[in-house]
Chain A
Amino acid sequence: QSVLTQPPSVSAAPGQKVTISCSGSSSNIGSNHVSWYQQLPGTAPKLLIYENNKRPSGIPDRFSASKSGTSATLGITGLQTGDEADYYCGAWDSNLSAGVFGTGTKVTVL
């Protein structure tokens, strides 16, 4: 019952770029900040992006994000095999008074 919609999977060759979309509504992405998480196989999610486009310390600038209206996008450039993971967007939903996550996107490096 995820409120935010992401494509199930994206793929690209090493060194290439991938983008992941996250579609929401006016009550979540449209009026609140978006965050992005990376979940490597068998591990806990890790914060990748917060407040739409800010990277925590230690996150390389190969990871970038933007927001427009009720959608957000995560971009990964210079794709590496270590980037193979599931990626989730998240946001606060003002109508629900709760946080929501996206459906998740699996990134495959060909």
Chain B
Amino acid sequence: QVQLQESGPRLVKPSETLSLTCTVSGYSISSGYHWGWIRQPPGKGLEWIGIISHSETTYYNPSLKSRSTISVDPSQNQFSLTLSSVTAADTAVYYCARGPRYCSGGSCYTKHFDYWGQGTLVTVSS
């Protein structure tokens, strides 16, 4: 049974860096899937943040790319998200998720997410 669990500070000050970790159980993070982050501001829709492959290839939402970094730690079976220079607009529930690998035209990415973490609310406030 694949399970994902987000962890990290629930409160971040404006202009600081948000850091979250997703711990994966029931599946090896090195076994060929993509691992992603999605967020949802309170009362709003889903926003795709980015994904990372087991070989550490990353794709980011262009609107967040300059502030986002996704990394993977196979030894801990974890992957992480950092988002710099946060503002109140970054307040959201952050989800981590697993996505099956799909390759086309020389690029490999994920078309959908089949397992999700329960999500963690991160509030940006002083």
A47 nearest in chain B by CB position: B114
Question: Is B62 touching A98 in the complex (CB atoms < 8 A)?
Answer: yes
Question: Is B114 touching A101 in the complex (CB atoms < 8 A)?
Answer: no
* Range class of the A interface residue count: 20 to 34
Q: How many residues of B contact A (CB 8 A)?
A: 26
Expressed in whole angstroms, the Cα–Cα distance for A35 and B113 within the complex equals: 9
A33 at the A/B interface (Cβ < 8 Å)?
Answer: yes
Question: Is A44 touching B119 in the complex (CB atoms < 8 A)?
Answer: yes
A20 CB to nearest B CB, Å: 13
Chain A residues with Cβ below 8 Å from B114 are: 47, 50, 56
B51 nearest in chain A by CB position: A99
B26 at the A/B interface (Cβ < 8 Å)?
Answer: no
Q: Mark B94-126, 1 if CB is under 8 A from A, else 0.
A: 010000001000010111111011110000000
A47 CB to nearest B CB, Å: 5
10 A-B pairs with the lowest CB-CB distances in the bound complex, closest first:
A35-B112, A99-B48, A104-B45, A101-B46, A44-B116, A50-B112, A33-B111, A98-B61, A47-B114, A44-B119
A2 at the A/B interface (Cβ < 8 Å)?
Answer: yes
